[in-house]
Structure 1
Amino acid sequence: MGQSAFGWLDDLTRLYTPTATEFDAARRHRGAIESRLDAYLGLREMFEIGSLRHGTGVWQYSDADFLASLKGIQPDSPWTMLNRVKETLQNRFTSTEVVIRRPAVVCRFSDGHVEVVPAYPDMSGFWIANPADGWMKTYPRDHNQYVTEINKRHSGGAKRLARQLKVWKYLRNVPVSSCYLEMRSAKHLDGESGYSPIWDLYLALNKMHEAGLASMNDPTGLGSRFGACSSESNRQDAMSKFGTAVSRAQKAKDFHSDGNDEKAIEQLKLLFNK
C-alpha cells in the first residue's frame, strides 16, 4: 500500500519545521543590536515577533524577527526611521550586509539573518513601515493570540496550514507577504467547524485567489489592513502563481476524495515544486 496524501503533506510540513535550536545563533546577536539601538536612537523595548515566535517558521527560509520600539518623535516618513536604523546597525556591524526590506532592516550575519522591525508605540500597538507605502498600525501580541486561539480550536491546524502556505511561497518564489498568508490561514479556519489538510489547503488558496489578493481587515479589529504584495507588479505575478496553485490543489483534493492518493500526491508535488 502506497503513502497517503495526508502522510505526504505531513512529511513535507515536518521537513520544513525548524528545530528548537535552529535559530539560536541568529538570536545571540539580539543583545548587541539592542545595545546599539538604545545608545544611538533610544529604545523602549525589543521583543521577538514573526513566524519563528509564532510557530509557523520555515526551515532554511525564516529569519529571527524582532520589533524594536524606538523613543523620540515619529518622523513623517517611515523611510527616515528605516534609514536611521540601517545606518546605526551598519556602523556597528561593519562586516555584515545590512539592508532594508520593508517593514524591516535585515542584518545578514554569517550564522543567521536577523530582521529588526523598527516601530513607534501608540496605545497598545505600534506604527511600522507599511510594505506598500506609508505607515501601518500593528498589534503583534494580539495577532499572535488570535492565531494561537484558532490553532488550539483546530488542534494545531491553523499553524500547520500557515506553514504549508509559506513553504509553497518559498519553493515557488511567490512574492506575497508571509504575514498575509498567516492571517489569511487563521481567518479561513476561524469560519470552519473542522480542519482537513488537503481540503483546507485548497480552500485557503482559492479564497485568496478569488479575492484577488486584496488587503484584508485586521481580524482582531485593532490594526491596519494587511497587504498581500509590495507592488502591483508583484501582485500580478503572485496572482498568476496562485491560479496555478489553486488548480493543482483542487486536483489533489479531488483525487484524494476519489481514493486515488497516488495521483493526489503527484499534484501535491507539482504544487510544492517537489
Structure 2
Amino acid sequence: MQSATAWLQETTRSWIPSPTQFDGARGHRTEIEKKLDAKLGIFRMFEIGSLRHGTGIYHHSDADYLVSLKGSQPISPWTALNNVKAALQERFPYTTIVVRQPAVVCRFNDGDVEVVPGYITPSGYSIPDPTGGWMITHPEEHNTWVNDVNRNLDGAAKKLARQVKIWKYQRNVPVSSCYLEMRAAKHIDGESSYNPVWDLYLTFRKLQTAQLGAMNDPTGLGSRFTATSSDASRLDALSKLNTAVSRAEKAKDYYRNDDHVSAIGQLKLLLGV
C-alpha cells in the first residue's frame, strides 16, 4: 500500500515541467529584447518567475522576463505597460498580446511569454504593482533567498511551493503564485524537520491565519508581497483556502492514524488531481 507521503511526493514530481517544455516560448526572447531596445531603450532583460526559481507547474507556468527600461519612470504603470504592449504588437502583429498587470503577456503558439516592465532604482527595480501603482522588487535576491532555504531539509521549500501552486491552478484560486512561493519558503525556513503531509497542512493553516494578508519581503529589501489584486479576488481565494485547510487537516489526521487510503483521498480533493 502506498503511503500518503509517497503519493504526495510522486504527485508533486509529476507536475514538474520538462527541461524543454518552454524552449519554444523562450526562443522568442531575442526578438522581444531587440524590439523593446529599438523602440523604448532597455538596459537589460532577464528571466524571473517560477521557471527560473525551479517551482514551475506543468501546463501552467509561463516564461517570465523583467525588462529594465531606459528613461524616466512614468507616474502611471499603465503607461509603461501599454508602451511595451504596443512595441511587441508591432513586432508580432498576428500574436495575441494583452496586459495582465504587472506584465504584458504574449500568447505565442508555442507558449506564453510574460514581460514585466521595470525601472532601475537605488534599491532594486520598480515594477507595476498588481494592486495599483508601483512596487519595489529584487527578483534576483528573492531567487537567492529561496535557493538558500531550499538547501535545507532535502529541497523541501520548492516541493512545498509546487504543491500549493498545484492547488492554486487546479482549484482556480486567484492568488499570486509568487506570494504562495514566498509563504511556503518562509514556513520551511522556520522548521527543523520536514513531513510533506504535515507541512502542507501547516502552510495552508498559516495562510488562513494570515487571511492572505500582505507578507513582508523576507530579504528585507523590497515591497511587501500581496496575495490578490482585488477585494473580490481575495474573498474568492479565502473561501477556497478555508476548504483547503479543512481537507489538509483531514489528510493530516488520517495520515497520523495510518489510514493512508483516506489520507490520499483527501489530498486528491485538496489538490484537485
TM-score (norm 2): 0.99
- Return the alpha-carbon distance in structure 2 between the equivalents of residues 79 and 21 of structure 1: 33
Is the 2:126–2:137 contact (alpha carbons within 8 Å) kept by the matching residues of 1? yes
- Return the alpha-carbon distance in structure 1 between the equivalents of residues 29 and 99 of structure 2: 18
Q: Using the TM superposition, name which of 190-199 and 166-175 deviates more.
A: 190-199
SS in 1 for 2:83: helix
1:173 corresponds to 2:172: yes
Is the 2:123–2:221 contact (alpha carbons within 8 Å) kept by the matching residues of 1? no
Structure 2 runs not aligned, ≥5 long: none
- Return the alpha-carbon distance in structure 2 between the equivalents of residues 243 and 21 of structure 1: 36
SS in 1 for 2:117: strand
State the Cα distance separating 1:65 from its structure 2 match: 0.5
The equivalent residue for 2:97 is 98
- For each residue in 1:224-262, what CA deviation from the matched residue of structure 2 results, as whole angstroms up to 9, or x when unmatched? 000000000000000000000000001001110111100
Structure 1 runs not aligned, ≥5 long: none
| Residue identity matched to 1:143 | H
TM-score (norm 1): 0.98
| Aligned ranges 1:52-63 → 2 under 5 Å | 52-63=51-62
Taking only the aligned residue pairs, the percentage that are identical comes to 60
- Return the alpha-carbon distance in structure 1 between the equivalents of residues 117 and 11 of structure 2: 34
The equivalent residue for 1:39 is 38
The equivalent residue for 1:246 is 245
State the Cα distance separating 1:14 from its structure 2 match: 1.3
| Residue identity matched to 2:88 | L
Q: Using the TM superposition, name which of 4-13 and 45-54 deviates more.
A: 4-13
- Return the alpha-carbon distance in structure 2 between the equivalents of residues 124 and 239 of structure 1: 33
- Return the alpha-carbon distance in structure 1 between the equivalents of residues 15 and 254 of structure 2: 25
State the Cα distance separating 1:8 from its structure 2 match: 1.2
- For each residue in 1:131-173, what CA deviation from the matched residue of structure 2 results, as whole angstroms up to 9, or x when unmatched? 0111000000110011000000121100010011001100000
| Residue identity matched to 1:9 | L
- Return the alpha-carbon distance in structure 2 between the equivalents of residues 139 and 61 of structure 1: 24
SS in 1 for 2:146: helix
| Aligned ranges 1:1-274 → 2 under 5 Å | 2-274=1-273
SS in 1 for 2:241: helix
Runs of 4+ in structure 1 deviating by more than 6 angstroms, as ranges, are none
- Return the alpha-carbon distance in structure 2 between the equivalents of residues 134 and 189 of structure 1: 31
SS in 2 for 1:156: helix
State the Cα distance separating 1:123 from its structure 2 match: 2.5
